[in-house]
């Protein structure tokens, strides 16, 4: 078991770089694999989740070269070139991988089983499986609605006109990837606009897709063309240092080349509404994605009512945002975030438990929480093996009165390899403690 031990320290400073965007890295690999011709991906996230995606495509016959410079070259096999794997495809802890692959593989003529680690095996999958079945995919999950997922080759998918029951970029993307091999025109209607990385990337691969308001449509049977993709730094990873600089004393940092997709940057809007001093520099568009350097200085935060319209675009950043709320003056109320309960952990309970351990007054609700800002003390935090919970409470150590120990942080490597080194470089007093258990 890997634990983080953080001693109180006062500030963050300097220029830092966080790893490539996980969501974009996954999608770049998947579309490169089924494109015609070679694709080159730079800035790729070398995390455990994306490595799991890479491994399953290699198991299906795709040649992938991966250098040590976060660069990946994929020799695409086209929509009909994947081969049936000889063993189950293990996606580790990656919910994004399994949900997107469920859609992508449903119409590609192969037979496979999707599995994962203990955490992933317990996460809900009917939200994906049921609409794919409506497209006539031969796909099933366990009777409990969890992994394993079984996909039987040979199904001929039919286009669907689908009203999304919840705002979920993973569900939307799964259906769009299935629609690539479906007969006819698939239309997906979102209740609230979610991250649009799949739509933007399909255009980079020269696939025609229509996006108008909350409706996305594409016609199956087209061809993706190999291309070059530059992956920006992940705003979900940057969020920990954005919050850290806001709450620390005399902080001033620049986080370089971060993706600021308007459907992903709600963390910036929320923190600015709380009083954060955040500036975007060198704004540009790279491979269809908006990118900027983010400068953050120490800020005096105040509590707010977080708009439910911003929740889907900040869903992965709430562990960090609620640490900011714990350091703000007054109350911060989060509602409409029930999706947090079905992430790598029940993040609502994990955040509430962690903040209460550190002496913060928190009222838990079914779809969120109310946090009353106060003084953060020390204590021992249960990460519930959730990478974002671990990193969020590590950042809380910047302003704690006493040391904080965070238990079981090994899964940080799924999304942010090198987190400890970046945190130390920026100014966090963090020590890694390894515990070995004899069996």
Which of 127, 180, 188, 183 lies closest to 157 in space, CA to CA? Answer: 183
For β-strands 71-77 and 112-115, DSSP reports them as unpaired
- Between strands 379-382 and 13-16, the pairing is unpaired
Instruction: Return d(Cα 434, Cα 193) in angstroms, integer.
Output: 42
Structure tokens at 276: 């954060």
Cβ burial of 163 (10 Å; 0-12, 13-18, 19+) is exposed
Question: Would you say 234 and 21 are in contact if contact means Cβ atoms under 8 Å apart?
Answer: yes
Helices (H), 232-290: 235-247, 266-273
Cα(90)–Cα(149) distance, integer angstroms: 11
Question: Residues of 291-303 as b/e, b for ≥16 C-beta within 10 angstroms?
Answer: bbbbbbbbbebeb
Judge whether 180 and 218 are in contact, CB under 8 Å.
yes
3-state secondary structure (DSSP) of residue 119? helix
220 CB neighbour count, 10 Å cutoff: 19
Q: Measure the CA–CA gap between 380 and 433, rounded to whole angstroms.
A: 13
Beta strands 368-372; 331-334: pairing state: antiparallel
Write b or e for each residue in 357-394: b if 16 or more Cβ atoms lie within 10 A of its Cβ, otherwise e: bbbbebeeeeebbbbbbbebebbebbbbbbbbbbbbbb
Please, are residues 332 and 366 in contact by the beta-carbon 8 Å criterion?
no
Q: Give the strand order in the sheet containing 112-115.
A: 89-90, 112-115, 149-151, 139-140
Calpha distance 188→404 (Å, rounded): 45
Residue 316 annotated to the active site: yes
> Rounded distance, CA 338 to CA 134, Å?
25
Given 196, 316, 386, 408, which residue is catalytic? Answer: 316
Q: Prior bond to 24 cis, omega within 30?
A: no
Active site residues: 316
């Amino acid at each position: 078991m890997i634990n983080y031990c953080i001693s109180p320290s006062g500030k963050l400073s300097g220029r830092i770089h966080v790893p490539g965007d996980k969501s974009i890295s996954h999608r770049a690999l998947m579309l490169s694999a089924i494109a015609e011709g070679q694709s080159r991906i730079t800035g790729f996230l070398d995390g455990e989740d994306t490595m799991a995606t890479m491994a399953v495509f290699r198991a299906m016959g795709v040649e992938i070269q991966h250098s040590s410079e976060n660069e990946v070259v994929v020799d695409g096999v086209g929509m009909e070139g994947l081969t049936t794997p000889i063993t189950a495809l293990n996606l580790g802890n990656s919910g994004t991988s399994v949900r997107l692959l469920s859609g992508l593989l449903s119409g590609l003529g192969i037979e496979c089983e999707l599995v994962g680690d203990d955490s992933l095996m317990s996460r809900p999958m009917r939200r994906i499986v049921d609409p794919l079945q409506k497209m006539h995919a031969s796909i099933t999950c366990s009777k409990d609605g969890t992994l394993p997922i079984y996909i039987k080759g040979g199904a001929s998918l039919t286009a669907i006109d689908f009203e999304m029951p919840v705002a979920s970029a993973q569900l939307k993307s799964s259906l769009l990837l299935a629609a690539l091999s479906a007969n006819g025109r698939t239309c997906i209607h979102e209740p609230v606009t979610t991250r649009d990385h799949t739509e933007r990337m399909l255009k980079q691969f020269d696939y025609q897709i229509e996006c108008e308001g909350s409706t996305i449509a594409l016609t199956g049977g087209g061809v993706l063309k190999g291309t070059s993709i530059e992956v920006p730094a992940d705003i979900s990873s940057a969020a920990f240092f954005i919050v850290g600089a806001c709450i620390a004393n005399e902080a001033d940092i620049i986080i370089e080349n971060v993706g600021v997709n308007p459907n992903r940057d709600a963390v910036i809007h929320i923190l600015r509404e709380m009083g954060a001093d955040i500036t975007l520099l060198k704004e540009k568009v790279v491979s269809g994605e908006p990118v900027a350097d983010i400068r953050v200085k120490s800020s005096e935060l105040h509590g707010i009512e977080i708009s439910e319209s911003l929740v889907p675009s900040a869903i992965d950043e709430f562990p960090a945002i609620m640490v900011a709320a714990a350091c703000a003056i007054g109350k911060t109320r989060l509602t409409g975030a029930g999706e947090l309960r079905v992430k790598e952990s029940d993040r609502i309970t994990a955040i509430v438990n962690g903040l209460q351990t550190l002496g913060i007054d928190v009222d838990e609700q079914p779809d969120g929480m109310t946090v009353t800002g106060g003084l953060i003390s020390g204590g021992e935090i249960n990460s519930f093996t959730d990478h974002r919970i671990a990193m969020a409470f590590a950042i809380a150590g910047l302003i704690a009165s006493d040391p904080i120990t965070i238990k079981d942080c090994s899964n940080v490597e799924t999304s942010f390899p090198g987190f400890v080194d970046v945190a130390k470089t920026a100014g966090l007093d963090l020590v890694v403690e390894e515990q070995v258990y004899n069996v």
